């Protein structure tokens, strides 16, 4: 398991952080959205990769909120409040507004290996995003559905 994560992370601390994040957040989310897609629901999957300016945080839980609501100054330690953070905030807001308008701002998720919108310093669609790491956690959670 550690070797699978070591391929993407140099420091053991980063390996441990990635494993905990996948166990608690990413893998259950993957299984949840897959279950919905398999039952015919239209599902859009994204992963926020925008790093917190606070050292060691990376893209942390709730760092999407100031980006989505455009109030970066209220929590600068989560998403930053510089020009780059303002551009990311505008991009996130544009995507969510497209949902509100009934649009599809990116291709719907269609099961294992399906499209995932990555929102970070580089933004775009990824397929088979982190499939090897997420496969480790398959079957370790209650089934959805």
The structural domain count of the chain equals 1
141 belongs to a structural domain? no
Backbone phi and psi for residue 96, each to the nearest 5 degrees, phi listed first: -70, -35
Using DSSP's 3-state secondary structure scheme, residue 59 falls into coil
Extract the tokens encoding 7.
Answer: 């391929």
Instruction: Give the pLDDT band (50/70/90) at residue 71.
Output: very high
CA-based nearest residue to 69, from 81, 60, 57, 58: 81
142 belongs to a structural domain? no
Look up the pTM and report it. Answer: 0.86
Enclosing domain of residue 27? 2-136
120 belongs to a structural domain? yes
Taking 60 as the threshold, does the pLDDT of residue 145 lie above it?
no
145 belongs to a structural domain? no
143 belongs to a structural domain? no
């Amino acid at each position: 398991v550690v070797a699978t994560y070591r391929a993407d992370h140099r420091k053991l601390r980063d390996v441990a952080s990635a494993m905990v994040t996948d166990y608690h957040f990413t893998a259950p989310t993957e299984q949840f959205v897959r279950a919905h897609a398999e039952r015919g629901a239209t599902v859009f999957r994204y992963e926020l990769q925008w790093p917190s300016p606070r050292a060691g945080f990376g893209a942390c839980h709730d760092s999407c909120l100031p980006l989505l609501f455009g109030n970066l100054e209220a929590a600068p330690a989560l998403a930053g409040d510089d020009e780059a953070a303002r551009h990311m905030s505008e991009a996130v807001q544009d995507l969510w507004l497209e949902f509100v308008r009934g649009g599809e701002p990116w291709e719907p998720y269609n099961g294992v290996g399906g499209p995932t919108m990555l929102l970070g310093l580089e933004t775009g669609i990824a397929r088979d995003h982190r499939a090897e790491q997420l496969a480790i956690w398959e079957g370790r959670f209650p089934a959805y559905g």
